[in-house]
Structure 1
Amino acid sequence: MLLPAEMAKINILLHKRDSEKLVKALHESGLMEIKRVSNKELWEAKSHPDAGVLASYELRLSRIIEILKNYSPKKKGFKLGKKIEKKRIKERSLKEKIRDAEKILNELEERVLENEKRINEIEEKIESLKDKEEKLRYLLPFNINLEWLGKSKYVIIKFGISTDLTALQNRDFVFYHRKIGKKKENLWVVLIVAHVSQEEELRKLRNFEEIQIEGKGNVKEALKKVKEEIKILKEEKEKLRKELAHLYKEKKLELFAIREEIQIEKERKDIFRYFGETNYTFLIEGWCLAKNKEKLKKLVEKITNGSCHVEIKTAKRNPDMPPVHLENPNWAKPFETFLELFALPKYNEINPTIFLGISFIIFFAFMLGDAGYGLVIFLLSLFAYIKFKESEFIRRWAFLGIWLGLGNIITGFLFNSFFGDFIPRFIYGDENKMLYHAKIFGIELPIDAIHKPILILSIALLLGLAHLNLGFILGAIQNWKRGHKKEIIKEQIPWFMLEIGGGMLIGEAILELWSLNVQLKIIAMIFTAIGLIALFKNNGPLGFFELTGFLGDWLSYARLLALGLATAGMALAFNVVADLLPDIIPYVGIILMPLLLIIAHFANLLIQSLGAAIHALRLQYVEFFNRFYEGGGKKFMPFRIRRKYTEEIR
């Protein structure tokens, strides 16, 4: 748990006749990550001949599914956590699966593609007709026949859009116009009648864009005909769409199931490219969890009837760099996502997920720090955890939300905040009154964060110092496990000595927290001197920047106070405004007050939660990880079947 799970390197040499059986067994077991063979003495195996065939079927099925999905009605409502229907299937040969794929493609492919093609043609035709309809609407006020437009023996009639009527008025043309567009917009639809001798003059006309319309008959009749044609086309399109939607509803599960089976078979055929090859054998290389190595060996020997050679080597923490698998408790699983956003640990590096998780919860609760907001987060997360039992993803994050909610309830009551001062102001009738009174180990509770910011700052900095030193401790453990004992003396111990010695001296001389006797003062000065000497010896002149960098990182934890005060201050401000509202707006203010409180506090919860989460992560990535963590590991990705729409029965 402190380090990534131990891995074992696997080499399997087997006869080609057993290869397909073994690949299937490895795929179903999910025990091994298969990597490309790097042995130069072997040929690189070619793609399996069936891989291309399966890829073709996958592509055809995916195309049909995507087309049908586009025309299926979109379901409304909350879909997260909904259980996916699975098709129960029997184990079958590859030929039978291809036969089933061919059967459903023969039934649907031509029909679906023809319907989609016709729908696309209809859409293009409708767009063309709509364009014509718009042009006809422009021409409608002039009530002419369409065949009049153009050039005849004596007359030219043109129709279009003009932005400058004066250019037409100064010409020897007969023209009619109607204003279009907005009031301040200079836009007119114009019908020009000119003698054929003026054709060249018409061609040079500026600020006029001619509109071409083909057709015969009166404008009104033509417009009516276009509308009817559009209506017929839309009805045909809707009929085709309903047909495709019905097909999707009827064949959806069957299509997804057969595609998934084809994809699984394709994965099995594609993996052959990773093997090393001789005339009669394949070499398979990869990784498995060390705890599964004997199980994997027995599986291989069983499938091949012992006609194989299996070589297993437990990976060394240094220098081998196998893939990384993190073994964390369930409550810490959501934090693996946060860790992956930064980088997975190397195989010989500390797994910080648990420490990241605990400190994230503490810092988030400290920065949000309101029991009311915590209660909302807790109840919503609890609801999601119970409601969406089918979704492991939602339940995992909801479980985290439960912890974050509980953390905020605790810090909210510690820092005297329940939706700000809502309870003292609106229930107790005295905004200066505390939520409760208690005394634990001589400490008066709650601590009013707004009136005692220095105390909260001190707690924040103490938390920060503990967090940074946890990083140093993990760095020391990491160096010890790597066998770098000298690095502990160089990298971690000087900081411990400097903190102890410097803290003792600063606590006496500057903060006046205690008084040191001569012996303790000498010890403190020795510790400080050793720490500084080691720091400058290891880093040269840059040791000064190491020191200031550490102080900067430590002071960065003051953001715990800043964000906590921002949450409390905003909540307080909303309560004050809501309290004044009935006086500002008589009668109506009483109705608006609860509405304002709900909206304002909900907005504050969202904004401050986002800020708390971002800054809590920032403290992990920059301040904490800087003490010991590099990252750069590659995730363990076993060769495994992943079923979503099928369930195989034997």
Structure 2
Amino acid sequence: MAIVKMSEFSLFAFDVEKEALLKTLQNFGYVHFSNLTEEFGDESLGLEPVKVPHKLTEIEEKLSKVSSAVSILSKYEQKESSIKAMMEGNKTYSFEELEKIVLDIDYIALADEILSLSKEKDDIVQKIEHLRTEIDELKPWQYLGASIETLSNTYFSDITIGTVSRKLKEKLIEIMSEAENGYYEIINEDKNNLYLLLISHKSDTDDLIDSLKNLSFTKVKLQIKLTPDEEIKIREEKIKKYELEIEEIENNLKERLDYLENLKLAFDYLNNLKLRFSVSENFIKTEKVVFIKGYIPTSKKDEFEKSVREALGNVYYLEIKEAEKENPKVPILLENSNYAETFESLTGMYALPKYSEIDPTPFLAPFYTLFFGMMAADVGYGLIMLLGTFFALKKFKLSDAQRKSIKFFYYLSFSVIIWGFIYGSLFGGVVKIPGLIDPANDYNTVLLMSIAFGVIHVMFALGLKAYMLIRDRKILDALFDVGFWYFALIGSIVFLLSTMGIIGGVIKTISLVMMIVGMLGIVATGGRSSGSIGGKLAGGFYSLYGITGYIGDFVSYSRLMALGLAGGFIAGAINMIAGMVSGLGVVGFILAIVIFIAGQLFNLGLSLLGAYVHSIRLIYVEFFGKFYEGGGPKFNLLRAKPKYINIK
């Protein structure tokens, strides 16, 4: 239950052996490379960055082709239900198995076929779209019963077609009624335009057109020979022909669905192959020798040495030493119990610990579980979580990440059930069960209990800070930064309780002394880093002022009561509404069932969301804020995260 102990390695090998080495190390997996191009940037030393091989460009091109082919074929795949898909899960391969399968597949030729068919289909689709655009242009003129050639100008007259705004129809009629040598006919109209046929004497055409321009007249020139209706039919026939061609192409694509699984394997393989070549950017080299540096888990030192020996024989130089504790570049890999590891995502969302810190995960896990259960407290909700997650863990074939997420809520369900029994809540009281506390009436008890949990939580965080300081042999710092605060806070809390008559006698005097000693200690040591006496005192008093922040922290835990009460009241309100409706006969009874199920599911989601977010808030702000900084880099395995399979 800690940060995995790391060892730093330095490796010199011949550059020509680099690819074989990386292939072997990728099978090993647990290696994190340091970026030496940043560390040794001076080429005057005879060292230069390893150039990314041309092969990487080829891999990226192949990856792009395979990715596009998978995307195209996936459109025709019959999707299984999400539950069935989760039950079957992704297949698992070792990296060696994956490589062997993929290298026996001519996946590029297959991808090229699919891309060629897809391009052919896209070209036809564009032709169809072009034809449909032409049809849309011709449709307003489909009632023009003559071909465009027939409507050519005569010796004495001009024939013009065009559009006028429909809003100006009356103006059109007025203008055309005044035209002595002009004739017009409205061929069609829509909500915006009138489609006109104009016949005019050649001597009057220009004047007529100019007068119509005031009506937004726009000339139209149709590039067709037959009537618009005949031209539309010709294009519709072409579209039908093209659609049959598309159908044939799609059938050809569907026939290749059996190869989709192979293409997915090729995608995940190429993704890892790309990573294998791209990590070379971290290395530096001379003319013939490459220098590689990085980190491995100390527990895998022998396995790492064996992998290097397999790839390079005896022609290499390898040095492995324990990673320096204070080195901020040491990558972080966490190792926890089955229970605690499901909470590692919470630590990761905040920040991974530095190598010099402690892993907070096993310490946050029980508190998070406690807080989550207290806020979502209901036996019914907990049982739904328990049964749902248990079924998923037993029946679904999950990836490691999915399994951890499900187990996270599996463990939390027990806390929700326990707190549901403490509060006597089963779906908001739909069935009465005896509880130790009635939160609706004993809310003061729940509030005091919430704040008490907060005091314990914060004190525990300070204890972890003290442990880290003592571990680093900073005993006085532990006394000054934690010990005096323990005295001040515990003394203040106990003294406050004694003034309320809850505690009396000699304890009151002891608590007063503790409080004073703690406060004086904080004032005396809080500004110790300052160079002057005035600065030390000012810093000390400012540190003591921080006690107000602790008060705010303790009060913040009242949300444990507030969210628990809110969820219970909403559930109770849903039950009340369902009960009122149930008395309205058979229809009312059915409606009551619907209201109960839908309402309780809604409240379940709301309660779980609230408990999830606010528990995180208490951990990140009140808990981590006292001892934890974080900021360690993540240990990057020499494995790309697979998309379609699991790699063991």
The TM tier, using the shorter chain, reads 0.7 to 0.9
What is the identity, as a one-letter code, of the residue corresponding to 1:242?
A: N
Which residue of the partner structure matches residue 543 of structure 2?
543
Aligned mates of 1:51, 1:560 — CA distance in 2: 54
Mapped to 1, the partners of 2:383 and 2:11 lie a distance apart of: 55
Match of 2:186 among 172, 176, 182: 176
Partners of 1:171 and 1:35 lie apart in 2 by: 84
How far does the alpha carbon of each residue in 1:316-348 deviate from its partner, in whole angstroms, 9 at most, with x for none?
A: 322454011111122223322222111111111
Contact 1:87-1:257 within 8 A present in 2 as well: no
Aligned to 1:224: 233
**CA–CA distance in 1 between the matches of 2:487 and 2:19?**
62
Q: Following the alignment from structure 1 to structure 2, what is the Cα–Cα distance between the partners of residues 15 and 313? A: 22
CA distance in 2, matches of 1:158, 1:542: 84
Which of 108, 113, 117 is equivalent to 2:119?
117
Per-residue CA distance 1:401-435 (angstroms, 9 max, x = gap): 222222111111110211112114xxxxxxxxxx1
Query: Letter of the aligned partner of 2:510 in structure 1?
Result: I
**Is the contact between residue 475 and residue 492 of structure 1 (CA under 8 Å) also seen in structure 2?**
yes
Q: Secondary structure at the match of 1:310?
A: strand
Q: Which residue of 1 aligns with 2:613?
A: 614
Alpha-carbon offset, residue 97 of structure 1: 7.9
Cα distance, 1:635 vs structure 2: 0.8
Q: Does 1:84 align with 2:90?
A: yes
1:626 positional shift: 0.7
Within 5 A, what are the aligned runs for 1:471-620? Answer: 471-509=461-499, 511-517=500-506, 520-537=507-524, 538=526, 539-543=539-543, 545-583=545-583, 585-620=584-619
The farther-off stretch of 451-460 and 277-286 is 277-286
Q: 1:236: which partner in 2?
A: 245
SS in 2 for 1:593: helix
**Is the CA contact 2:90–2:645 (under 8 Å) kept in the aligned structure 1?**
no
For residue 131 of structure 2, what is the amino acid of its counterpart? L
Paired residue for 1:441? Answer: none
Residues of 1 paired with 2:219 and 2:505: CA distance?
97
- Is 1:105–2:115 an aligned residue pair? no
Q: CA deviation at 1:480?
A: 2.1
- Tell me which moved more, 390-399 or 204-213: 204-213
1:356, CA displacement in angstroms? Answer: 2.2
Q: Using the TM superposition, give the Cα deviation of residue 370 of structure 1 relative to its aligned residue in structure 2, in angstroms.
A: 1.1
Quote the offset at 1:179 in angstroms.
6.4
Deviation at 1:259, TM superposition (A): 4.4
Structure 1 residues 199-235: Cα deviation after superposition (integer angstroms, max 9, x where no partner): 5426623456666654343444333333333222222
The match for 1:253 is 261
Instruction: Give the distance between the partners of 1:303 and 1:560, measured in 2 at CA.
Output: 57
SS in 2 for 1:330: coil
Distance between the aligned counterparts of 2:151 and 2:107, measured in 1?
A: 54
Hey, what's the Cα distance between the residues in 1 that align with 2:423 and 2:173?
Answer: 80
Given the superposition, is the C-alpha separation of residues 53 and 142 from structure 1 closer, same or farther in structure 2, using an over 3 Å criterion?
Answer: closer
Alignment partner, residue 184 of structure 1: none
Counterpart position of 2:32 = 33
Q: Report the more deviating stretch, 586-595 or 495-504.
A: 586-595
SS class of match (1:171): helix
Structure 2 contact 92–647 (Cα < 8 Å) conserved? no
What is the TM-score normalised by the length of structure 2? Answer: 0.86
Specify the SS of the correspondent of 1:422: coil
CA spacing shift, 1:404–1:87, aligned 2, 3 Å: closer
What do the CA deviations read for 1:17-47 (whole angstroms, capped 9, x no partner)? 5444333222211232122223454332333
Query: What per-residue deviation string (whole Å, max 9, x for no partner) do you get for residues 549-572 of structure 1?
Result: 111111111111111111011111
Name the SS for the 1:401 alignment partner.
helix
Is contact 1:86–1:645 with CA below 8 Å preserved after alignment? no
Give the letter for the 1:618 counterpart.
R
Distance in 2 (CA, whole Å) between partners of 1:160 and 1:121 is: 36
Alpha carbons of 1:486 and 1:211: their partners in 2 closer, same or farther (altered >3 Å)?
A: farther
- AA aligned to 2:494 is M
Tell me how far 1:624 sits from its aligned partner: 0.9
Name the CA shift for 1:16/1:219 in 2 (closer, same or farther; >3 Å). closer
Q: Conserved in 2, the CA contact under 8 Å of 1:324 and 1:635?
A: yes
Corresponding position of 1:468: 458
Is it true that 1:450 corresponds to 2:434 in the alignment? no
Instruction: Find the partner of 2:67 among 59, 62, 69.
Output: 62
User: CA separation of 1:490/1:223 partners in 2, compared to 1, >3 Å: closer, same or farther?
Assistant: same
**Conservation of the 8 A alpha-carbon contact between 1:161 and 1:209:** no
| Deviation string, structure 1 residues 594-623 (Cα, Å, up to 9, x no partner) | 111111111111122111111111111111
Report the CA distance shift for 1:321/1:121 in structure 2 as closer, same or farther (over 3 A). Answer: closer
Q: 1:266 to 1:398 in 2, by over 3 A?
A: closer
| Number of residues of Structure 1 aligned to a counterpart in Structure 2 | 615
Q: Answer yes or no: is the 8 Å Cα contact 2:375–2:561 preserved in 1.
A: yes
Distance 2:198 2:287 in 1: 88
Distance 1:561 1:406 in 2: 19
Offset at residue 130 of structure 1 (A): 2.7
State how 1:340-379 maps to structure 2 within 5 Å: 340-379=348-387
Query: What SS does the corresponding residue of 2:9 show, helix, strand or coil?
Result: strand
- Measure, in 2, the Cα distance between the counterparts of 1:377 and 1:457: 26
What is the percentage of aligned positions where both structures have the same residue? Answer: 25
Instruction: Name the CA distance, whole Å, in 2 between partners of 1:311 and 1:14.
Output: 12
Residues 307 and 179 of structure 1: is their aligned pair in 2 closer, same or farther, counting only changes over 3 Å? closer
Aligned pairs for 1:127-146 within 5 A? 127-140=129-142, 145=147
- Alignment of 1:300 onto 2:308: yes
CA distance 1:648–1:76, shift in 2 (3 Å): closer
- Say if 2:373 and 2:419, in contact at 8 Å, map to a contact too: yes
Residues 565-589 of structure 1: per-residue CA shift (max 9 Å, x gap) = 1101111111111111144x45421
Decide which moves more: 327-336 or 215-224: 215-224
- Given that residues 81 and 391 in structure 1 are in contact (C-alpha distance below 8 angstroms), is that contact kept between their aligned partners in structure 2? no
CA distance in structure 2 between the partners assigned to 1:128 and 1:295 by the alignment: 63
Q: Partners in 1 of 2:411 and 2:580 — Cα distance? A: 35
The answer on whether the counterparts of 1:363 and 1:616 sit within 8 Å (CA) in structure 2 is yes
- SS of the aligned residue for 1:408 comes to helix
Change (3 A) 1:81 1:623: farther
Amino acid aligned to 2:253: L
Contact in 2 for aligned 1:365/1:411 (Cα 8 Å): yes
Whole-angstrom CA distance in 2 between matches of 1:423 and 1:149 = 86
User: Which residue is equivalent to 1:328?
Assistant: 336
CA distance in 2, matches of 1:341, 1:89: 29
Question: Contact between 1:7 and 1:289, CA under 8 Å: does it hold in 2?
Answer: yes
SS state at 1:323 partner: coil
Q: CA deviation at 1:365?
A: 1.0
Q: 3-state SS of the aligned residue for 2:319?
A: strand
How far is 1:54 from its partner? 3.4
Which residue identity lines up with residue 504 of structure 2 in the other structure?
A: S
- Please give the alpha-carbon distance, in whole angstroms, between the structure 2 residues aligned to 1:35 and 1:315: 13
The answer as to 2:618 corresponding to 1:631 is no
CA 212–357 in structure 1, closer or farther in 2 if over 3 Å, else same? farther
450-459 or 479-488: which moved more? Answer: 479-488
Asked if the contact 1:33–1:287 (Cα under 8 Å) also holds between the matched residues in 2, the reply is yes
Structure 2 CA distance for partners of 1:513 and 1:607, relative to 1, 3 Å: same
Distance change >3 Å, CA 463–CA 23, structure 1 → 2: same
TM-score (norm 1): 0.86
Indicate conservation of the 8 Å contact 1:12/1:285, yes or no.
yes
* Residue range with higher mean Cα deviation, 261-270 or 615-624: 261-270
Q: CA deviation at 1:142?
A: 6.1
Question: Which whole-Å CA distance do the structure 2 matches of 1:145 and 1:544 have between them?
Answer: 96
1:125 is displaced (CA, Å) by 2.4
Letter in 2 for 1:24: K
Q: Secondary structure at the match of 2:339?
A: helix
Shift of 1:313: 1.7
Residue in structure 1 matched with residue 422 of structure 2 by the alignment: 414
